[in-house]
Every structure is written in structure tokens, then in C-alpha cells.
């Protein structure tokens, strides 16, 4: 992969800082040792025609490699992982296992987690949200319980760190405003282990620095 550009939002609300999904892509690129530049789109411009050409739904992240755009964080992380044995092993069965957990993070764990995040930050004042929240919490806890059982006795989802851990960790971070993950000691240890990786620390610091710079310019 050459001439890589990662698109993210120029600024986001405080609660979303450190959660926006371009963090996944930056982290994967850092783990893979691939250099990239960061480009930004304003929230108010996300539906503009030029950004829609990069990302039809007006979201981030987008990655451009030699000017060719790709979107969807899971797909991008997978593409990066295919270029790096640090994220995706060469053995076919081991690769299949990583892909399985990539999908598990995005299709099984993330939907209920995202639903709870939306209730708490987008709809908390609406009466229906308070009625819906207990069931949303129950579903998240059910997913976390299974994940905790799987991770019991393991450092990572598989026998070593992989792209799947990038996605799973960033999914679990989406509910950092709650105590749900804290209810499972094995998940707390897992997230802390993954977040301690230098590549994550660098990617997070870079994303937050971008937001701080944008805030300073707007002041």
C-alpha cells in the first residue's frame, strides 16, 4: 500500500473523541508500520458531493490508496491486515479465524453496543429511550458475558494479537461511559492490554491532537 490518506472528521463532540472509527484505521496502519497522511472533512460537509464520492453515506473513515478510495472501517482494517503478518497470519486457517472474529466484532458485538450508545447520547431525553434502555443493557451484557468466557485464559481473541483485536477493542470502547465492561474483569484486562500497545497510543494521541488543533483554530 502506497500513498495512503486517511479521512476523518475535523472535529466531533467531546463524548465522541477517541471513538470515531478512523481510530481503527490509524491503529491498524501503525501496527502494520505503514505511513499515511491524515485528511479531514467537517461534520457539516459530510454530505457534500465531493465527500459522497469518497463515501456514499457521508461517513468516515475513508482511506485513499494512490487516490483510490475505500470505505467502511472493518473492510479497511481487513485490507490493511492482508498486507501485514503483524495483523493477519499467513496460515490459511489462522487467517480464517481472524476474519471470523472481525465479523463477530462488527456483526455480533457492535450492533447492541452502538444501540446503547445511541440511546445514551442521541435520545436520552426521549421517553421511549428510558423504556428501551434496560433491554438494550441486557443484550449488551449477554454479548459481553460470552466474550468474557471466550477471553478467559487468553490474552487476545486468538493465539496472538491480530486485526480482530483492533475491532473488538474499539467496539468495547464505545461504552466506556458505562460500567458494563467493568463488570467483567477479564474484559477490563483485555481492553487495557490492547490499549497499552504503542501503536494504539500513537493513533489515539494523533486523533485527539487533530481535534485539539481544530478547536484551537475555531476559538
In a domain? residue 212: no
Which residues of the chain are under the pLDDT cut of 50?
A: none
116-122-124 Cα angle (round to 5): 75
The answer to whether residues 63 and 35 belong to one domain is yes
Q: What is the pLDDT of residue 32?
A: 98
In a domain? residue 213: no
In a domain? residue 121: yes
The answer to whether residues 101 and 129 belong to one domain is yes
The answer to whether residues 151 and 119 belong to one domain is yes
Cβ-based burial of 68 (10 A; exposed 0-12, middle 13-18, buried ≥19)? exposed
DSSP 193: H
Q: What is the pLDDT of residue 208?
A: 96
The answer to whether residues 140 and 122 belong to one domain is yes
Number of domains in the chain: 2
The answer to whether residues 181 and 104 belong to one domain is yes
Say what the pTM is: 0.96
Q: Tell me the three state secondary structure of residue 152.
A: coil
| Contact present, 6 and 22 (Cβ < 8 Å) | yes
In a domain? residue 46: yes
In a domain? residue 168: yes
Q: What is the pLDDT of residue 38?
A: 96
Q: What is the pLDDT of residue 218?
A: 81
Q: What is the pLDDT of residue 16?
A: 94
| Contact present, 6 and 25 (Cβ < 8 Å) | yes
The answer to whether residues 48 and 110 belong to one domain is no
Question: Which of 67, 85, 103 is where one domain is finished?
Answer: 85
Q: What is the pLDDT of residue 217?
A: 83
Picking from 15, 72, 3, the residue whose alpha carbon sits closest to that of residue 211 is 15
| Contact present, 26 and 206 (Cβ < 8 Å) | yes
In a domain? residue 79: yes
The answer to whether residues 34 and 97 belong to one domain is no
Question: Which of 70, 85, 100 is where one domain is finished?
Answer: 85
Q: What is the pLDDT of residue 169?
A: 98
Q: What is the pLDDT of residue 2?
A: 77
Number of other residues whose CB lies within 10 A of the CB of residue 1: 16
Which residue range(s) make up the domain with 16?
A: 4-85
Tally the C-alpha atoms within 13 A of residue 177's C-alpha that lie toward its C-beta. 16
The answer to whether residues 59 and 126 belong to one domain is no
Q: What is the pLDDT of residue 102?
A: 98
Rounded Cα gap, residues 19 and 42, in angstroms: 16
Amino acid at each position: 500500500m502506497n500513498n495512503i490518506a486517511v479521512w476523518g472528521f475535523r472535529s466531533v463532540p467531546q463524548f465522541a473523541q477517541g471513538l470515531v472509527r478512523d481510530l481503527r484505521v490509524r491503529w491498524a496502519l501503525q501496527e502494520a508500520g505503514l505511513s499515511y497522511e491524515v485528511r479531514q472533512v467537517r461534520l457539516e460537509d459530510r454530505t457534500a458531493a465531493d465527500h459522497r464520492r469518497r463515501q456514499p453515506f457521508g461517513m468516515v473513515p475513508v482511506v485513499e490508496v494512490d487516490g483510490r478510495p475505500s470505505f467502511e472501517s472493518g473492510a479497511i482494517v481487513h485490507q490493511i491486515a492482508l498486507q501485514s503478518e503483524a495483523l493477519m497470519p499467513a496460515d490459511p486457517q489462522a487467517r480464517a479465524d481472524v476474519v471470523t472474529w472481525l465479523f463477530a466484532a462488527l456483526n455480533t458485538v457492535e450492533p447492541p453496543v452502538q444501540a446503547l450508545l445511541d440511546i445514551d447520547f442521541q435520545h436520552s431525553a426521549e421517553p421511549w429511550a428510558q423504556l428501551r434502555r434496560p433491554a438494550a443493557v441486557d443484550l449488551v451484557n449477554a454479548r459481553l458475558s460470552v466474550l468474557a468466557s471466550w477471553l478467559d485464559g487468553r490474552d487476545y481473541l486468538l493465539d496472538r494479537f491480530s486485526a480482530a483485536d483492533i475491532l473488538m477493542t474499539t467496539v468495547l470502547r464505545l461504552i466506556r461511559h458505562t460500567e458494563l465492561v467493568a463488570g467483567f474483569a477479564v474484559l477490563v484486562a483485555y481492553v487495557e492490554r490492547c490499549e497499552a500497545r504503542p501503536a494504539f497510543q500513537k493513533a489515539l494521541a494523533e486523533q485527539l491532537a487533530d481535534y485539539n488543533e481544530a478547536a484551537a483554530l475555531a476559538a
